[in-house]
Structure 1
Amino acid sequence: MKVEQVLHMNGGVGKTSYANNSLLQRAMISMVKPIVGASIEELCCTLFPECLKVADLGCSSGPNTLLVVSDIIDSIRTTYHKLNRPPPSLQAFLNDLPGNDFNTVFRSLPGFYKKLDEEHEKKFGSCFIAGMPGSFYGRLFPNNSLHFVHSSYALHWINEV
């Protein structure tokens, strides 16, 4: 059996779920937030895409899953405000192994979209989020289809290279 078929986080929102046991990962996401923000700013100042396409590899499920997307949105909004331009649409692909609890992630999207509208006074632009289950040991996306790829606490699994 392939490793990517058996590895997964504890799903749901129970006492032993990854959603309730991922404070270390959250701290790491916060630690690299300035680096992600600077990278997004540089990208937005050079490309000006109508739709910015990003992927988060190893997103898992729980409160951290959409934290990275939220940070990217904040960086986009700040950058485009400085440039006096309307922000682009965002297409975010959340990737993890097929055993990930994507149902919990998808159930959280209506609340995420509502919070996004409230925090940004509906001035952000469209945001589209999709799941992309699969292993990043193989191809997940077509050539030249993404502008930005993020991974936090997933790259340590790369042992097949």
Structure 2
Amino acid sequence: MRQLILTLLAAGSLNLAATAQPAKSMSTNKTELATFGGGCFWCMEAVFERLPGVISVTSGFAGGHTDNPTYHEVCGGDTGHAEVTQIQFDPAKITYAKLLEVFWQAHDPTTLNRQGADEGTQYRSIILFHDEKQKLLAEKSKLEAQKDFFKPIVTEI
């Protein structure tokens, strides 16, 4: 019995020693943000959540002139906001250029203020860049994506 107790105490102290070590970070990479609007934000959110390298996707509103609008106010069409998703991603695992490719495929960027049955300025196609590099990549990607559509792309950048 004494041997069993000593074995359990020894195993327990090893377990405590193992858990007392400082946790090492899983990744030292800096994350970046991308913000896209392509119709209903919940639909866009579902697309981007599934991509490897995407850390989080948050739905919200952007691009308007009313401070802190409610969902109801935005749906009224008077705030100037678009429904958008903000994507936090690890650029070592997925690039901003790849996110742009997915964006062009996830909605119809040739319809003005509409995606499917959803209609209104809040459903417009928009790319909100976070720095000059993203702006340039978005503009270049828009020109490339235009080759895949018969109608002109109306996406705001």
Range into which the TM-score falls when normalised by the shorter chain: 0.3 to 0.5
TM-score under structure 1 normalisation?
0.32
Greater fraction strand? 2
TM-score under structure 2 normalisation?
0.33
